[in-house]
Amino acid sequence: MKQQAIFKALADPSRRRILKLLRNGSKTAGELAEAFEFSAASLSHHFAVLKAAELVRTERRGQYIVYSLNTSVFEDVSGLVMELFAVREEKR
Amino acid sequence: MKQQAIFKALADPSRRRILKLLRNGSKTAGELAEAFEFSAASLSHHFAVLKAAELVRTERRGQYIVYSLNTSVFEDVSGLVMELFAVREEKR
DNA sequence: AGTTTAATTAGATAAATGCCTAAATATCTA
DNA sequence: TAGATATTTAGGCATTTATCTAATTAAACT
Protein backbone atom coordinates (compact mmCIF):
# COMPACT_ATOMS: atom_id res chain seq x y z
CA MET A 1 0.00 0.00 0.00
CA LYS A 2 1.40 3.33 -1.04
CA GLN A 3 0.34 5.56 1.79
CA GLN A 4 1.93 8.73 0.51
CA ALA A 5 0.63 8.22 -3.01
CA ILE A 6 -2.86 7.69 -1.65
CA PHE A 7 -2.97 10.83 0.45
CA LYS A 8 -1.40 12.86 -2.31
CA ALA A 9 -3.93 11.60 -4.81
CA LEU A 10 -6.83 12.49 -2.53
CA ALA A 11 -5.54 16.02 -1.96
CA ASP A 12 -6.82 17.28 -5.29
CA PRO A 13 -10.53 18.07 -5.63
CA SER A 14 -10.71 17.04 -9.27
CA ARG A 15 -9.30 13.66 -8.45
CA ARG A 16 -11.78 13.19 -5.64
CA ARG A 17 -14.48 14.10 -8.07
CA ILE A 18 -13.23 11.45 -10.49
CA LEU A 19 -13.47 8.86 -7.75
CA LYS A 20 -17.02 9.89 -7.00
CA LEU A 21 -17.94 9.65 -10.66
CA LEU A 22 -16.67 6.10 -10.64
CA ARG A 23 -18.66 5.00 -7.59
CA ASN A 24 -21.53 3.79 -9.68
CA GLY A 25 -19.59 1.99 -12.31
CA SER A 26 -16.69 2.14 -14.71
CA LYS A 27 -16.32 4.89 -17.24
CA THR A 28 -14.04 5.54 -20.15
CA ALA A 29 -11.53 8.36 -20.01
CA GLY A 30 -13.69 10.25 -22.47
CA GLU A 31 -16.85 9.84 -20.45
CA LEU A 32 -15.08 11.12 -17.38
CA ALA A 33 -13.67 14.00 -19.38
CA GLU A 34 -17.16 15.21 -20.17
CA ALA A 35 -17.60 16.14 -16.53
CA PHE A 36 -14.60 18.47 -16.62
CA GLU A 37 -13.47 21.47 -18.54
CA PHE A 38 -9.85 20.46 -18.55
CA SER A 39 -8.02 19.26 -21.58
CA ALA A 40 -7.93 15.50 -22.04
CA ALA A 41 -4.22 15.67 -21.33
CA SER A 42 -4.74 17.20 -17.90
CA LEU A 43 -7.33 14.62 -17.05
CA SER A 44 -4.99 11.92 -18.15
CA HIS A 45 -2.43 13.25 -15.73
CA HIS A 46 -4.94 12.99 -12.90
CA PHE A 47 -5.76 9.44 -13.90
CA ALA A 48 -2.08 8.59 -13.69
CA VAL A 49 -1.90 9.94 -10.14
CA LEU A 50 -4.96 7.94 -9.10
CA LYS A 51 -3.50 4.88 -10.73
CA ALA A 52 -0.16 5.28 -9.00
CA ALA A 53 -2.09 5.28 -5.73
CA GLU A 54 -3.95 2.22 -6.94
CA LEU A 55 -7.23 3.98 -6.28
CA VAL A 56 -8.41 3.16 -9.78
CA ARG A 57 -7.79 0.34 -12.19
CA THR A 58 -7.77 0.45 -15.96
CA GLU A 59 -8.61 -1.90 -18.71
CA ARG A 60 -8.41 -1.32 -22.40
CA ARG A 61 -11.60 -2.06 -24.27
CA GLY A 62 -10.90 -1.64 -27.95
CA GLN A 63 -10.23 2.01 -28.59
CA TYR A 64 -11.29 2.99 -25.13
CA ILE A 65 -9.65 2.82 -21.78
CA VAL A 66 -12.05 2.03 -19.00
CA TYR A 67 -11.45 3.28 -15.49
CA SER A 68 -12.97 1.76 -12.40
CA LEU A 69 -12.74 2.26 -8.67
CA ASN A 70 -10.40 -0.09 -6.93
CA THR A 71 -12.63 -0.62 -3.95
CA SER A 72 -10.18 -2.98 -2.31
CA VAL A 73 -8.03 0.03 -1.42
CA PHE A 74 -10.94 1.47 0.44
CA GLU A 75 -10.06 -0.57 3.48
CA ASP A 76 -6.50 0.64 3.27
CA VAL A 77 -7.62 4.24 3.21
CA SER A 78 -10.01 3.75 6.09
CA GLY A 79 -7.25 2.07 8.02
CA LEU A 80 -4.91 4.97 7.41
CA VAL A 81 -7.46 7.43 8.68
CA MET A 82 -8.17 5.33 11.74
CA GLU A 83 -4.49 5.16 12.41
CA LEU A 84 -4.18 8.91 12.39
CA PHE A 85 -6.77 9.44 15.06
CA ALA A 86 -7.08 6.28 17.09
CA VAL A 87 -5.46 6.30 20.48
CA ARG A 88 -2.71 3.75 20.34
CA GLU A 89 -3.33 0.52 22.18
CA GLU A 90 -1.25 -0.33 25.19
CA LYS A 91 1.62 -2.65 24.55
CA ARG A 92 1.14 -5.90 26.31
CA MET B 1 -16.10 21.24 7.69
CA LYS B 2 -13.32 22.29 5.38
CA GLN B 3 -13.01 19.32 3.12
CA GLN B 4 -10.24 20.68 0.93
CA ALA B 5 -8.23 21.94 3.88
CA ILE B 6 -8.50 18.54 5.52
CA PHE B 7 -7.29 16.55 2.53
CA LYS B 8 -4.53 19.04 1.83
CA ALA B 9 -3.37 18.88 5.42
CA LEU B 10 -3.24 15.09 5.36
CA ALA B 11 -1.21 15.03 2.15
CA ASP B 12 2.05 15.82 3.90
CA PRO B 13 3.84 13.05 5.78
CA SER B 14 5.24 15.35 8.45
CA ARG B 15 1.78 16.60 9.24
CA ARG B 16 0.44 13.07 9.49
CA ARG B 17 3.30 12.33 11.83
CA ILE B 18 2.35 15.30 13.99
CA LEU B 19 -1.19 13.95 14.26
CA LYS B 20 0.13 10.57 15.31
CA LEU B 21 2.34 12.15 17.94
CA LEU B 22 -0.74 13.81 19.36
CA ARG B 23 -2.83 10.65 19.56
CA ASN B 24 -1.79 9.97 23.10
CA GLY B 25 -2.10 13.44 24.48
CA SER B 26 -1.38 17.09 23.95
CA LYS B 27 2.10 18.38 23.39
CA THR B 28 3.67 21.80 23.21
CA ALA B 29 5.07 23.06 19.93
CA GLY B 30 8.54 22.56 21.34
CA GLU B 31 7.89 18.97 22.38
CA LEU B 32 6.60 18.19 18.93
CA ALA B 33 9.58 19.91 17.38
CA GLU B 34 11.93 17.50 19.12
CA ALA B 35 10.64 14.73 16.89
CA PHE B 36 11.67 16.61 13.76
CA GLU B 37 14.80 18.05 12.30
CA PHE B 38 13.05 21.00 10.77
CA SER B 39 13.38 24.52 12.03
CA ALA B 40 10.75 25.62 14.52
CA ALA B 41 9.46 28.00 11.88
CA SER B 42 8.78 25.20 9.42
CA LEU B 43 7.02 23.19 12.06
CA SER B 44 4.95 26.20 12.92
CA HIS B 45 3.87 26.39 9.32
CA HIS B 46 2.70 22.79 9.46
CA PHE B 47 0.79 23.50 12.65
CA ALA B 48 -0.97 26.33 10.89
CA VAL B 49 -2.07 24.03 8.08
CA LEU B 50 -3.38 21.46 10.55
CA LYS B 51 -5.17 24.17 12.43
CA ALA B 52 -6.76 25.58 9.30
CA ALA B 53 -8.16 22.11 8.70
CA GLU B 54 -9.29 22.03 12.31
CA LEU B 55 -7.45 18.79 12.81
CA VAL B 56 -5.73 20.19 15.87
CA ARG B 57 -6.65 22.71 18.49
CA THR B 58 -4.37 25.01 20.41
CA GLU B 59 -4.34 26.52 23.80
CA ARG B 60 -1.78 28.84 25.28
CA ARG B 61 -0.37 27.71 28.58
CA GLY B 62 1.91 30.43 29.83
CA GLN B 63 4.88 30.61 27.55
CA TYR B 64 3.90 27.47 25.75
CA ILE B 65 1.36 26.69 23.15
CA VAL B 66 -0.22 23.31 23.58
CA TYR B 67 -1.47 21.36 20.61
CA SER B 68 -4.02 18.59 20.78
CA LEU B 69 -5.89 16.38 18.36
CA ASN B 70 -9.34 17.57 17.50
CA THR B 71 -10.89 14.14 17.52
CA SER B 72 -14.30 15.49 16.64
CA VAL B 73 -13.08 15.98 13.07
CA PHE B 74 -12.31 12.32 12.91
CA GLU B 75 -15.91 11.56 12.03
CA ASP B 76 -15.81 14.17 9.32
CA VAL B 77 -12.72 12.63 7.80
CA SER B 78 -14.14 9.13 7.98
CA GLY B 79 -17.29 10.40 6.36
CA LEU B 80 -15.34 11.98 3.54
CA VAL B 81 -13.52 8.75 2.85
CA MET B 82 -16.73 6.76 2.92
CA GLU B 83 -18.23 9.22 0.51
CA LEU B 84 -15.43 8.71 -1.95
CA PHE B 85 -15.90 4.99 -2.19
CA ALA B 86 -19.41 4.12 -1.13
CA VAL B 87 -21.82 3.27 -3.89
CA ARG B 88 -24.42 5.96 -3.84
CA GLU B 89 -27.81 4.99 -2.52
CA GLU B 90 -30.76 4.90 -4.83
CA LYS B 91 -32.90 7.97 -4.73
CA ARG B 92 -36.30 7.18 -3.40
C1' DA C 1 -2.38 1.29 -46.20
C1' DG C 2 -4.48 5.72 -44.77
C1' DT C 3 -7.71 8.29 -41.87
C1' DT C 4 -10.29 8.97 -37.79
C1' DT C 5 -11.05 8.59 -32.91
C1' DA C 6 -9.39 7.85 -28.05
C1' DA C 7 -6.06 8.46 -24.98
C1' DT C 8 -1.29 9.20 -23.25
C1' DT C 9 3.33 11.33 -23.20
C1' DA C 10 6.49 15.32 -23.82
C1' DG C 11 7.74 19.82 -22.93
C1' DA C 12 6.72 24.42 -21.24
C1' DT C 13 4.95 27.60 -17.73
C1' DA C 14 2.55 29.64 -13.70
C1' DA C 15 1.15 28.79 -9.12
C1' DA C 16 1.52 26.36 -4.81
C1' DT C 17 4.30 24.09 -1.32
C1' DG C 18 7.97 23.29 1.93
C1' DC C 19 11.93 24.73 3.66
C1' DC C 20 15.19 28.25 5.50
C1' DT C 21 16.91 32.57 8.23
C1' DA C 22 15.73 36.78 10.38
C1' DA C 23 12.47 39.55 12.70
C1' DA C 24 8.44 40.05 15.63
C1' DT C 25 5.33 38.82 19.52
C1' DA C 26 4.14 36.90 23.99
C1' DT C 27 5.21 35.31 28.43
C1' DC C 28 8.13 34.50 32.33
C1' DT C 29 11.70 35.72 35.65
C1' DA C 30 15.30 38.22 37.74
C1' DT D 1 12.06 46.95 33.02
C1' DA D 2 15.56 44.00 30.79
C1' DG D 3 16.76 39.49 29.32
C1' DA D 4 15.66 34.79 28.27
C1' DT D 5 12.62 31.35 26.27
C1' DA D 6 8.79 29.73 23.21
C1' DT D 7 6.50 30.39 19.22
C1' DT D 8 4.78 32.69 15.08
C1' DT D 9 5.20 35.78 11.06
C1' DA D 10 7.70 37.73 7.08
C1' DG D 11 10.40 37.27 3.12
C1' DG D 12 13.05 34.52 -0.03
C1' DC D 13 14.30 30.40 -2.74
C1' DA D 14 13.99 25.67 -4.76
C1' DT D 15 10.95 21.96 -5.84
C1' DT D 16 6.59 20.11 -7.01
C1' DT D 17 2.09 20.41 -9.03
C1' DA D 18 -1.55 21.50 -12.32
C1' DT D 19 -2.38 23.09 -16.44
C1' DC D 20 -1.80 23.88 -21.45
C1' DT D 21 -0.59 22.75 -26.55
C1' DA D 22 1.72 19.70 -29.61
C1' DA D 23 3.31 15.23 -30.67
C1' DT D 24 2.78 10.23 -30.14
C1' DT D 25 0.62 5.68 -29.62
C1' DA D 26 -3.19 2.43 -30.28
C1' DA D 27 -7.17 0.64 -32.21
C1' DA D 28 -11.07 0.92 -35.61
C1' DC D 29 -12.96 1.62 -40.10
C1' DT D 30 -13.02 2.15 -44.70
Residue B79 in contact with partner chain A when CB distance is under 8 A: no
The rounded distance, in Å, linking the Cα atoms of A74 and B59 is: 35
pLDDT higher than 80, residue B21: yes
In which order are the strands placed within the sheet that holds A27-28?
A27-28, A64-69, A56-61
Query: Which residue, A89, A59, A70, is CA-closest to A5?
Result: A70
Touching check for B72 and chain A: CB below 8 Å? no
pLDDT in tens, A34-81: 999 999 999 999 999 999 999 999 999 999 999 999 999 999 999 999
- Between residues 24 and 63 of chain B, which touch chain A (CB distance below 8 Å)? 24
Does B17 contact A at CB distance below 8 Å?
A: no
User: Separation of CA B58 and C1' D6 in angstroms?
Assistant: 14
Contact residues on chain A for B10, CB-CB shorter than 8 A? 7, 10-11, 84
Residue A86: pLDDT band (50, 70, 90) is confident
Measure B21 CA to D22 C1' (Å). Answer: 48
pLDDT value, residue B91: 56
Q: What pLDDT, on the 0 to 100 scale, is given for residue A87?
A: 74
DSSP assignment string, B42-81:
HHHHHHHHHHHTTSEEEEEETTEEEEEE-THHHHHHHHHH
Q: Which of B8, B24, B81 sits opposite A81 (nearest CB)?
A: B81
Question: What is the per-residue pLDDT across B34-92, written as a single tens digit (0 to 9) for each?
Answer: 999 999 999 999 999 999 999 999 999 999 999 999 999 999 999 999 999 887 666 55
